[in-house]
């Protein structure tokens, strides 16, 4: 028999001066119009995609069910189980209060960052889907309305010969010509054959030249047909990142992503301000509080929050508003299933400074089958007008691809 995570003892959660439950806050007035709804349960099912996606469902006494998704990671389903009692009996329409309620309840378990925030994010996405269904409006309407009818998608590209510049250029051309994308991303933290020590984060000149050759071949091959970004996965030292970014200035780089580790904002600022190559970070910085210094100190040229990881839909909207104060565009990182991908598109539609949403699963043949609706067409996501997020899980596909040992959550 497994652990019942919902019953774990934590004095911080059981007694907090900032308990924001409806009972403590005195939120009891009848609302009418079908809005007097209570949460009855929250369930998860983990799907074995190219990442182990955690799908989330929030159930109510009135019938509607909200579907969301948390960024992948061990422990996320257990944390959601842990938090479920804090939301049972609450009205799901109070998304902002309930999200902050979970942050406060889970403060002793690390709710300033990491998988605790990710678990909260998955619930928050499901609440948006649920609230939209209760109110009869699409999720973007809950975020203030929309700036655009469709969201641009950038395709994260891979090839078996990922360190071969010509192979990368061939794949770039194929994705543009055959799949119809006009925005791409390739990895630069790939073996060059010139490495001496993988631990010290230092790039030798032959390594930099190898990475520059990848950038040159890809950008020259696609030309003006596509924007191309390059990801470093927080791999290099500050000095090496500066030298790499400087070397790439002659090429048409959309952005250089995560060239240094995320912990030290001072180094990030120095790298960004040392080059005209656009620098983008954000997927490993949690909530608006984590993004604040990056923006205030102009340590980024673009910000890249991962919506179901860093706080959810409203939190990403808040990050975008903060970024807009510094005229910084938002390029949402995303490695999710169609559920969080479309939810990210809703956020992108609702903010003025949105560039694109990532798609990381073009090699996974059944990604689109997870939901009944068409999601990406011609490199764009048409923003659904159906209530909520606007996607419907195909439960047969979910069940077929569940992680071993998982149980399927209840039908809506």
**pLDDT value at position 111?**
87
Instruction: Confirm if 314 and 96 have CB atoms less than 8 A apart.
Output: yes
Question: Scanning the structure block, which residue is given the tokens 């002659």?
Answer: 250
Q: Do 63 and 208 belong to one domain?
A: no
User: 333: closest CA among 374, 369, 286, 377?
Assistant: 286
Using an 8 Å Cβ cutoff, are 245 and 215 in contact?
Answer: no
Give the per-residue pLDDT at 198. 86
DSSP 8-class letter at 402: B
Say what angle helices 287-296 and 313-325 make with each other, to 10 degrees.
20
pLDDT of residue 285: 95
Which CATH number does the domain housing residue 37 bear? 3.30.390.10
pLDDT given at position 215: 98
From 108, 137, 166, give the residue that closes a domain: 137
Q: Is residue 98 part of a domain?
A: yes
- Does residue 351 lie in a domain region? yes
The pLDDT tens digits of the residues spanning 146-200 come to: 999 999 999 999 999 999 999 999 999 999 999 999 999 999 999 999 999 989 9
Q: Are residues 74 and 152 in the same domain?
A: no
CA 300 to CA 278: how far, in whole Å?
8
Q: What is the pLDDT of residue 287?
A: 96
CATH number at residue 232: 3.20.20.120
Q: Note whether 78 and 196 are same-domain residues.
A: no
- Residue-level pLDDT at 13: 76
Judge if 70 and 115 occupy the same domain: yes
- Give how many domains the chain has, as a whole number: 2
Q: Are 292 and 339 a contacting pair, CB within 8 Å?
A: no
| Residue 81 sits in the same domain as residue 212 | no
Low-confidence ranges of the chain (pLDDT < 50): none
- 229 shares its domain with 125: no
Judgement on whether residues 34 and 170 belong to the same structural domain of the protein: no
**Which are the contacts of 314, defined by CB distance < 8 A and separation ≥ 6?**
95, 96, 99, 124, 128, 143
- The residue among 111, 137, 163 that closes a domain is 137
Among the candidates 137, 162, 186, a domain finishes at 137
Q: Are 93 and 218 in a shared domain?
A: no
The CB density around residue 203, as the number of other CB atoms within 10 Å, is 25
Helix (H, G, I), strand (E, B) or coil at 333: strand
Q: Same structural domain for residues 82 and 174?
A: no
Please indicate, yes or no, whether residues 121 and 164 belong to a single structural domain of this protein: no
**53 membership: H or E segment, kind and range:** strand 52-60
Closest to 101 measured CA to CA, from 22, 42, 44, 43: 22
What's the chain's Rg over C-alpha atoms?
A: 22
Instruction: Return the beta strands (E) in 262-391 as ranges.
Output: 279-281, 302-303, 330-332, 354-359, 376-377, 380-382
Same domain, 130 and 158: no
pLDDT of residue 388: 98
Structural domain of residue 126, as residue ranges? 11-137
Sign of CA pseudo-dihedral 375, 155, 306, 294: negative
d(C-alpha 412, C-alpha 397), whole Å: 15
Write down the pLDDT at residue 10: 78
How high is the pLDDT of residue 88? Answer: 98
**β-bridge partners, 371:** 393
Looking at the chain, how many residues does it have? Answer: 412
Q: How many CB atoms lie within 10 A of CB 303?
A: 28
Task: Indicate if 228 and 362 belong to the same structural domain.
Answer: yes
Is residue 28 within a helix (H) or strand (E), and if so which, with residue range? none
pLDDT for residue 3 = 87
């Amino acid at each position: 028999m497994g652990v019942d995570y919902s019953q774990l003892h934590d004095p911080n959660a059981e007694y907090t001066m900032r308990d924001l439950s409806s009972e403590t806050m005195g939120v009891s007035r009848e609302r009418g119009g079908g809005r007097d709804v209570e949460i009855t349960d929250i369930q998860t099912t983990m799907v074995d995609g190219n990442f182990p996606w955690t799908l989330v469902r929030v159930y109510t006494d009135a019938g509607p069910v909200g579907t969301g998704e948390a960024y992948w990671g061990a422990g996320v389903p257990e944390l959601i189980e842990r938090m479920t009692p804090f939301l049972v009996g609450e009205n799901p329409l109070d998304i902002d209060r309930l999200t902050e309620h979970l942050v406060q309840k889970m403060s002793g378990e690390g709710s300033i960052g990491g998988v605790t925030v990710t678990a909260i994010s998955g619930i928050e996405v499901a609440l948006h889907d649920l609230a939209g269904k209760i109110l009869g409006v699409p999720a973007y309407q809950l975020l203030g309305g929309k700036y655009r009818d469709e969201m641009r998608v950038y395709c994260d590209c891979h090839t078996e010969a990922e360190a071969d510049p010509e192979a990368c250029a061939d794949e770039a051309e194929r994705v543009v010509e055959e799949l119809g994308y006009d925005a791409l991303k390739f990895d630069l933290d790939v073996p060059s054959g010139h490495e001496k020590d993988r631990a010290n984060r230092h790039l030798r000149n032959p390594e930099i030249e190898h990475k520059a050759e990848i950038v040159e071949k890809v950008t020259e091959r696609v030309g003006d047909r596509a924007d191309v970004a390059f990801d470093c996965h927080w791999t290099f030292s500050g000095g090496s990142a500066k030298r790499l970014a400087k070397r790439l200035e002659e090429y048409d780089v959309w952005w250089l992503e995560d060239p240094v580790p995320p912990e030290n904002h001072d180094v990030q600022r120095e790298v960004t301000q040392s080059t005209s190559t656009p620098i983008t970070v954000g997927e490993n910085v949690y909530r608006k509080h984590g993004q604040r210094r990056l923006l205030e100190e102009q340590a980024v040229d673009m910000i890249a929050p991962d919506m179901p990881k860093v706080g959810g839909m409203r939190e990403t909207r808040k990050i975008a508003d903060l970024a807009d104060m510094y005229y910084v565009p938002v390029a949402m990182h995303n490695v999710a299933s169609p559920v969080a991908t479309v939810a990210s598109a809703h956020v992108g539609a609702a903010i003025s400074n949105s560039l694109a949403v990532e798609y990381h699963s073009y090699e996974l043949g059944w990604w689109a089958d997870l939901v009944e609706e068409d999601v990406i067409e011609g490199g764009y996501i048409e923003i659904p007008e159906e209530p909520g997020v606007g996607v419907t899980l195909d439960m047969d596909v979910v069940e077929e691809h569940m992680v071993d040992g998982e149980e399927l959550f209840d039908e809506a």
